[in-house]
Structure 1
Amino acid sequence: QPLDGIDSVHLQIEAMKLAFADLHQYNADIAHMRVAPADLLQPDYLRARAALIDPERAGDPAYGAPRPGGTVYLAAADSQGMMVSFIQSNYMGFGSGVVVPGTGISLQNRGHGFNLIAGHANEVGPRKRPSHTIIPAFAMHADGTPQMAFGVMGGPMQSQGHTQMALRVLRYGQNPQAAADAPRWRVTGGKGVAVEPHFDAAVVEQLRARGHEVTVEAGNGVFAFGGAQLVLRQGDVYVAGSDPRKDGGAVAF
Structure 2
Amino acid sequence: MTHFKARIWMLLVMQLWVPAQAASPLQRLTRVDVSRALAATPGRYSTLGIPPGASYVLRCSSGCVALLWCRLWCHDSPADACIFSDIVVMPEYDETNTADVIPCYTMRQKSYMNQAVIESSQEWISNHPGRLKENLMDKSYVTGDLDTCLLLEGVTFPWFLLDFGEPVTFQHVRIIAQTGSNVYTFCDVEVRVGISPVSTPGDFSSYRLLGKFAGPATENQDVDFKAAKPVTARFVSVQKMKQDWFQPCHVEVY
Above 0.5 in TM-score? no
TM-score if structure 2 supplies the norm length? Answer: 0.26
**Structure 1 or 2: larger helix share?**
1
**Relative to total residues, which structure has the larger strand share, 1 or 2?**
2
Normalising by structure 1, we get a TM-score of: 0.26
